Amino acid sequence: MATKPQLASATKKHRVLLVDDHPIVRQGLGLLIDREPDLSVCGEADSAHSAFHAITTLRPDVVVLDISLNGPDGLDVLKEIRTKTTTLPVLILSMHDESIYAERAMRAGANGYIMKQEATEKVLVAIRRILQGEVYLSDRLTNSMLRQYVGGATPAKSSPLVNLSDRELEVFRLIGEGHGTRQIADELHVSVKTIESYQAHIKEKLSLRNSRELVQHAIEWTVHLSGEY
């Protein structure tokens, strides 16, 4: 007599919320996920504000979150999610170099990090793994982190960007995407003076002599997002 409840449980689809500011990316992920018997896209968002609204109203089982968003970035969204719940699984899906962002994302409370360059089937593997309460990282990143934490080793190549705080890195990224100081201040809801202070810290940490070099380096890094800085 328990056949129907078992069948309902077996066919239950996990609800996936996609947060990405590129419609084509959301469409591609949606087509991929909706083909699966156990997964279904319940909604989409392209900014921090719309993401929070969707989480509250749609109550997804898992969030697939991009780093680059309009306004506050994915790390800000992730940190805000964690102030409200520690149980909602969040997978960071990003085109940004995992050596720069993945550890930051995990410290902020992500359950997994996967780059957009990975094969599409790995996205599905990652979603299912974090739904089961596990952590998903690429083999390369897992080995690198194990070497650092277990053996005390440091990477042979260390990007100077690792010295930036999360907010400084966010400002650096926005500069590279062509945003001016006032525009960045408006998007992050802070003062122009605050952004200028971040820019000064970035120049000091990256040994850049002036604002022109800061813009140049930020643009070069943005163009080569998946490479080593």
pLDDT for residue 10: 53
Distance (Å, rounded) from C-alpha 201 to C-alpha 182?
Answer: 17
pLDDT tens for each residue of the chain, 229 residues long: 443 444 444 568 999 999 999 999 999 999 999 999 999 999 999 999 999 999 999 999 999 999 888 788 899 999 999 999 999 999 998 887 677 888 899 999 999 999 887 778 899 999 999 999 999 988 777 776 676 666 655 544 557 888 899 999 999 989 998 999 999 999 898 999 999 999 999 999 999 999 999 999 999 887 765 444 4
For 37-72, write each residue's pLDDT tens digit.
999 999 999 999 999 999 999 999 999 999 888 788
Return the sign of the alpha-carbon dihedral for residues 223, 165, 103, 90.
negative
Last residue of a domain, one of 88, 116, 148: 148
Asked if residue 213 is part of any domain, the answer here is yes
Token pair of 181 as six digits: 């100081």
What 3-state DSSP class applies to 121? helix
Asked if residue 20 is part of any domain, the answer here is yes
**Structural domain of 207:** 160-223
Asked if residue 141 is part of any domain, the answer here is yes
Asked if residue 62 is part of any domain, the answer here is yes
| Strand arrangement, sheet containing 112-115 | 39-45, 14-19, 62-65, 90-94, 112-115
* 37 and 133 assigned to the same domain: yes
* 70 and 138 assigned to the same domain: yes
pLDDT for residue 153: 53
Give which of 114, 116, 88, 136 is closest to 22, Cα–Cα. 116
Asked if residue 229 is part of any domain, the answer here is no
* 124 and 186 assigned to the same domain: no
The count of domains in the chain is 2
- In order, the DSSP letters of 50-89 are HHHHHHHHH--SEEEE-S--BSS-HHHHHHHHHHH-SSS-
Asked if residue 36 is part of any domain, the answer here is yes
Token pair of 66 as six digits: 């991009």
Asked if residue 63 is part of any domain, the answer here is yes
pLDDT for residue 158: 59
* 51 and 116 assigned to the same domain: yes
pLDDT for residue 1: 43
| Cα R_g (the chain), whole angstroms | 19
Q: Which amino acid is at 107?
A: R
Asked if residue 155 is part of any domain, the answer here is no
State the CATH number of the domain containing residue 188: 1.10.10.10
* 167 and 119 assigned to the same domain: no
* 136 and 49 assigned to the same domain: yes
Q: Tally Cβ neighbours within 10 Å of residue 119.
A: 8
* 32 and 136 assigned to the same domain: yes
* 198 and 165 assigned to the same domain: yes
Last residue of a domain, one of 122, 148, 174: 148
* 26 and 123 assigned to the same domain: yes
